[in-house]
């Protein structure tokens, strides 16, 4: 799941000077940086939170960059990762790209280079999401069955948000009429709708007065 607001970059490097430099340049470039000093902390962070891009050092004590990328794939397979390294070994770069890295930077790197790499990685996420949404939209409206449309819409919502369940309530004016719910591993269900009070609050959030 990608974050809302300022894009968040997870920076994983065992060198404090590199983490501090990346934090400053990310902030200046419009990103929020979350700093960790080792691979295990990076994996735990991805398990708990959502990030738009990860910047990962190749050579660290404990888990190296490749091990971190493999672990990322289990928890957030769509997280774009940029790997940084003080070595320029071709095999390292190939191994990282094979496990999902979208870019490979050699230390020392200048500020513009790292920002461009993060920008490219972040843009790649939007391209994937846009393509997925287009394909999903075409699939969704290829059916005229309301239950099947609800099933496809909710499946898409669950996938994008990495959620266990999702629901959609249909209404006319100020009255909620029908609620479709979809849980992981189940077919779409039609259940009790939300209360009139909750529906009115949703309408107010969507169309705030004034």
132 with 155: CB under 8 angstroms?
no
What is the structure's pLDDT at 139?
56
**Is 182 found in the same domain as 99?**
no
| CATH code for the domain of 106 | 3.40.50.2300
d(CA 159, CA 149): 15
Q: Please name which of 41, 51, 43 lies closest in space to residue 1, comparing C-alpha atoms.
A: 51
Pairing of strands 175-183, 165-172: antiparallel
**Is 102 found in the same domain as 25?**
yes
Successive 10-residue mean pLDDT values, the chain, 210 residues:
71 91 89 93 92 90 88 85 77 74 81 87 64 54 69 72 77 80 78 80 72
**Is 120 found in the same domain as 24?**
yes
pTM beyond cutoff 0.75: no
**Is 92 found in the same domain as 72?**
yes
**Is 20 found in the same domain as 78?**
yes
**Is 18 found in the same domain as 59?**
yes
Total structural domains in the chain? 2
Domain termination residue (choose one: 131, 164, 196): 131
What is the structure's pLDDT at 43?
94
Range of the domain at 44: 8-131
Residue 65 exposed, middle or buried by CB count within 10 Å (0-12, 13-18, 19+): buried
- Is 136 a member of any domain? no
**Is 103 found in the same domain as 47?**
yes
What is the structure's pLDDT at 40?
93
What is the structure's pLDDT at 180?
82
- Token pair 């390294």: residue: 85
**Is 74 found in the same domain as 53?**
yes
Domain termination residue (choose one: 131, 160, 188): 131
**Is 116 found in the same domain as 172?**
no
Cα torsion angle, 138, 139, 144, 148, sign: negative
What is the structure's pLDDT at 1?
45
């Amino acid at each position: 799941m990608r974050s809302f607001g300022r894009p968040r970059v997870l920076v994983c490097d065992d060198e404090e000077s590199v983490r501090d430099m990346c934090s400053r340049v990310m902030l200046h470039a419009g990103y929020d940086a979350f700093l960790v000093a080792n691979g295990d902390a990076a994996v735990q962070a991805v398990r708990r939170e959502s990030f738009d891009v990860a910047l990962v050092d190749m050579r660290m004590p404990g888990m190296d960059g490749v091990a971190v990328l493999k672990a990322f794939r289990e928890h957030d397979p769509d997280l774009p990762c940029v790997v940084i390294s003080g070595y320029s070994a071709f095999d390292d770069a190939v191994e990282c790209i094979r496990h999902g890295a979208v870019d490979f930077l050699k230390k020392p790197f200048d500020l513009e280079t790292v920002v461009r790499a993060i920008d490219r990685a972040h843009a790649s996420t939007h391209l994937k999401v846009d393509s997925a949404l287009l394909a999903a939209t075409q699939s969704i409206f290829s059916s005229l069955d309301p239950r099947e449309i609800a099933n496809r819409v909710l499946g898409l919502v669950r996938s994008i948000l990495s959620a266990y369940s999702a629901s959609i309530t249909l209404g006319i004016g100020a009255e909620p009429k029908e609620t479709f719910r979809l849980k992981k591993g189940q077919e779409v269900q039609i259940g009790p709708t939300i209360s009139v009070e909750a529906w009115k609050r949703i309408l107010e959030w969507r169309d705030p007065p004034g």
